[in-house]
Amino acid sequence: MKIKVSSIILFLPVFFVLGCDSGQDSPVSKKAETTQNAPVVTEEAPAPMAESTGNDEAIAKAESEPVQQAAISGKQVYQKACFTCHKTGVANAPKLGDAAAWAPRIAKGKEALYSSSLNGVPGTAMVAKGGCGTCSEEELKAAVDYMVSSAE
């Protein structure tokens, strides 16, 4: 008789949860069913109505073109990349404001200096773009102009 009583005691909670004892759903199973079948409600703000300004074609064209970043000044390019060598003269780089060191370079002309900044100088520490891979050609030329003006 002990076996039958212990079996009933063990399975009684199972019958309660499953609702098998009375043929009705238990509160636990009803809650689970309600949660599982509940619709998911999300609220979205209505899209704003666009007003035509008469420039719809110009707006569409502007939105399709890539955004151009504003060029930074020669001084900013110098401070971003060039100062690493040109502030202290690392690897014989002419220091900013050192007229004697810049004189032979300036004598070659600005186009030669621009070419050196863009392409580097073989056999020296001057690498292409002065190590500023994100700088545009115009920004590098502005940096050269800034450094040359400090030495003139």
The CATH label, of 1.10.760.10, 3.30.70.270, 3.30.530.20, 3.30.450.20, for the domain at 74-151 is: 1.10.760.10
Q: Are 120 and 112 in contact (CB under 8 A)?
A: no
Predicted confidence (pLDDT) per residue in 82-96, tens digit: 999 999 999 999 999
Predicted confidence (pLDDT) per residue in 106-119, tens digit: 999 999 999 999 99
Rg, C-alpha atoms of the chain: 38
Domain ranges of the chain: 1-37, 74-151
Give yes or no for residue 21 having a pLDDT over 90: no
pLDDT of residue 65: 61
pTM over 0.85: no
**Local confidence band at 98 (pLDDT 50, 70, 90 cut-offs):** very high
- The closest alpha carbon to 106, from 75, 152, 142, 140, belongs to 152
Average pLDDT (28-44) is 55
Higher pLDDT, residue 22 or 95: 95
